[in-house]
Chain A
Amino acid sequence: MMEEKKPKNRIRMREQEPLVRARNFVEVPYGYTPEEAIEEASRCLNCSKPACRTGCPVSIDIPSFIKLVKEGRFIEAAWKIKEENAMPAVCGRVCPQEIQCESMCILGKKGEPVAIGNLERFVADYERDKGEIQVPERPKPSGRKVAIIGSGPGGLSCSADLIKSGHRVTLFEALHKPGGVLIYGIPEFRLPKVIVEKEVDYIKKLGVEVRMNAVIGNLFTIDELLNEHGYDACFIAIGAGLPMFMGIPGENFNGVYSANEFLTRANLMKAYLFPEYDTPIKKGKSVAVFGGGNVAIDSARVAMRLGAEKVYLIYRRSEAEMPARKAEVHHAHEEGIDFMLLTNPLRFIDDGKGNVAAVECIRMELGEPDASGRRKPVPVKGSEFRLEIDVAIPAIGTRSNTLLTQNMPDLFLNKRGYIIADHETGMTSKPGVFAGGDIVTGSATVILAMGAGRKAAKGINDYLKWKFWDTGKLG
């Protein structure tokens, strides 16, 4: 074993200056240089029992890929990751490594854990830039056909696994571009769209047929896919979808956007390039975003980049309770987002012409812990105040979209409209139909959806082999 002294701190990725990047849509970090990557990889102790791997929802062989980086074998390192994860350039950027692999790293006990996410991102970018994308040989055709509904992270990872098993795979997407939340939700400066396009290209190169503009449920039903189009199984990975609103007066004034709409206009439709692109977006001078998750932070940072003078992030709890990634909260602070914590909106006020002009808020204080274990915010009497704004963005979560499921009585849903599916296999109440990702769990993360996609791929493989359906566990 190597006994040389390890440097204590991890190698930081260089980033665009906060006040510069707050006005452009270019990616925030520049990524590692090869030298930096080798230096960071050299911090890895190569533990005999690597805990990092157990923290990864898709069980990437982390020590092996890091060892390859250490040896300067970057392309091989990328291939090593791709054995378990078809989209390392995405996951290196958007996975919450700090609560997954990196949280298990032994170095983290005394200092900083190995920057596994940064290294994953580096090797994926390196492989792409070198143009040496390796496509594994096509397996022997199985003669089976599988339909994947939704081309977000769950659908993409499931497709990649199933195509490697020799099945014919069609990936159906309702929008005009594949990628789901990676395309419409996560902003360019956090996940450049060209990277998503390249990752989808890779999946296509594997042999997956991608069919855009296909609103399953309306264009074809699941039964039609199974009975008339010759698919042997379906995987439903349509995401959570419908935006929730706060239910306060004035929420339908012009200038009040769901975070989904605001981000879809900006990301999918490229409204930040209006009028080069046709889709408009209100560029607020003073913007209020409501919520404390990653979507709220993304919306605030997009609003800033559209040219706002002031962006408030209004959250009813304190910063410690924010579900957003710490790194992104930090970025938002640096970029000048005004965190208005322990504050709750009461109503919107318009300019007399139907456009939002102000929001009335109330201060909150933390009381006893609630069901989520977080201290419950309670209003402070008489602390109402008014904030002048011209764009408001509630980012308080999503609910299930029932467009596909509403006409499927044999597909069991829970009370909130999410599909009931076995978490290990993705099996639903309907034979041949599997489901995973947000439409099963409610809003979660990219990597959890990818993990669900991989599990479902395994479930589908077993099903296609044995044609055995056991939903006894679904209750």
Chain B
Amino acid sequence: MFHIVKKEKLSDAVLLFEIEAKDIAKKAKAGNFFVLRINEQGERIPLTIADYDRDKGTITTVFQKMGKTTHQLGELNEGDYITDVIGPLGVPSHIENFGKVVCVGGGVGIAPTYPIARALKEAGNTVVSIIGARMKDLIFWEDRMRGVSDELIIVTDDGSYGRKAVVTVPLEEQLREGNGVALVYAIGPAIMMKFVCVTTRKYNVKTIVSLNSIMVDATGMCGACRVEVGSETKFACVDGPEFDGHIVDFDLLMSRQRMYLNEEKIAFDRYKEQAGVK
């Protein structure tokens, strides 16, 4: 059982949990993720490790309430326990001094972008961060991101905060200025990562994306998370989750993410009904 030591509401739909997991905290690196299972009936879902505190022995995750499991998770409070927490999983980010790096975080993707931007900054890179969301309410960790970036650009789709733009607009400006962007990191919804890659390909700037495919065991055993990278099938859980975005088949990723839409609806409707009965 894993203790939730802190819960923070970042917006109506986005929550932060700090979970006691001493051994995972000791090993976690930027780019890792973990899997949790709320209870005996629960499914295993992968979530990002947005931060870790090796002294306190905790990991921090940020998630958006989407379907049944994430809503149910959101009902848990400080002091509650999660049955299973497994990690750290995935290959950590490759960090070195590349020169100038642009980090793009979209929606809840801002959370896993943070430790990567921090690690890049610590490695001596000049870090320009672009964070974006549909509206102001969904932007979080502005302070944290500013703390690890040389420049922070905020955009919202509706213009309710920062610039009214999608992330690719300021990204393209950065690339066009020709001031030597060596690498782009992009984490967010698949569609955002796809268009980030469309943009960076024009300027031939290497782009790393972190793929959020459906997983079960997340240790390579099942292959639920398979993605096509450079027309080769890869397992996002053990080969990734980070890949060269220019050769990722995002359409396949998005199609596979939709595989259980019907089942997700059934589970969520049932959950809402039961929660309503209470």
Contacts and interface: CB of A to CB of B under 8 A. Distances in A.
Contacts of B44: 176, 269, 279
Given A243-B222, A243-B223, A269-B43, A175 B238 contact: no
A3 to B, nearest CB: 55
B250 to A, nearest CB: 13
Contact of B228 (A252, A255, A264, A279): A252
A242 interface: yes
Contact of B41 (A252, A257, A277): A277
Given A218-B27, A403-B238, A254 B222 contact: no
Nearest to A176: B84
A251 B69 CA distance: 28
A361 interface: no
A125 B214 CA distance: 39
Given A219-B24, A265-B216, A278 B221 contact: no
A279 B238 contact: no
B199 interface: no
18 contacts: A174-B217, A176-B44, A176-B84, A212-B84, A213-B85, A215-B89, A241-B220, A242-B220, A264-B217, A264-B222, A275-B266, A277-B43, A278-B43, A279-B43, A354-B252, A401-B221, A403-B220, A403-B238
Contacts of A401: 219-221, 238
Contacts of B219: 174, 215, 241, 401, 403
A74 B148 CA distance: 69
Contacts of A175: 217
B256 interface: yes
B220 A278 contact: no
A242 B43 contact: no
A4 interface: no
A219 B259 contact: no
Nearest to B259: A254
A401 B224 CA distance: 15
Nearest to B38: A278
Interface string B235-246: 100100000000
Contact of B23 (A220, A242, A279): A220
A151 interface: no
Given A176-B84, A258-B223, A251 B233 contact: yes
Given A269-B44, A275-B267, A279-B44, A242 B221 contact: yes
Given A215-B219, A269-B44, A252 B256 contact: yes
Interface string A176-191: 1000000010000000
A367 interface: no
B88 interface: yes
**Interface size of A as a range:** 35 or more
Given A269-B216, A280-B264, A280-B267, A243 B221 contact: yes
B192 to A, nearest CB: 20
B83 interface: yes
B68 interface: yes
A245 B223 contact: yes
B226 interface: yes
A35 interface: no
Contacts of B84: 176, 212-213
Nearest to B69: A278
Nearest to B40: A277
Q: Is the interface of B mostly helix, strand, loop or mixed?
A: mixed
Interface of B: 23-24, 27, 37, 41-44, 68-69, 83-89, 216-217, 219-224, 226, 228, 233, 235, 238, 252, 255-256, 258-260, 263-264, 266-267, 270
A260 interface: yes
Given A174-B217, A243-B223, A260-B221, A219 B266 contact: no
Contacts of B23: 219-220
Contact of B89 (A218, A243, A278): A218
Contacts of B270: 275
Contact of B42 (A184, A278, A282): A278
A261 B216 contact: yes
A411 B69 CA distance: 40
Contacts of A279: 43-44, 216
Given A176-B83, A212-B84, A278 B216 contact: no
Nearest to A251: B233
Contacts of A385: none
Contacts of A241: 219-221
A276 interface: yes
Contact of B256 (A176, A215, A254): A254
B204 to A, nearest CB: 28
A264 B37 CA distance: 15
A175 B69 CA distance: 19
B263 A274 contact: yes
A278 B41 contact: yes
Interface core residue of A252, A270, A274, A276 (most chain B CB under 10 Å): A252
A401 B238 CA distance: 9
B224 A252 contact: no
Contacts of A403: 219-220, 238
A261 B238 CA distance: 15
Interface string A342-357: 0000000000011000
A468 B86 CA distance: 36
B32 to A, nearest CB: 8
Contacts of B41: 270, 276-278
B157 to A, nearest CB: 27
Interface in A277-324: 277-280, 282
- 10 smallest CB-CB distances across A and B, nearest first, come from A280-B263, A354-B255, A261-B222, A278-B43, A258-B223, A176-B84, A279-B43, A254-B259, A213-B86, A280-B260
Nearest to B222: A261
Given A279-B44, A280-B263, A252 B226 contact: yes
B261 to A, nearest CB: 10
B277 to A, nearest CB: 15
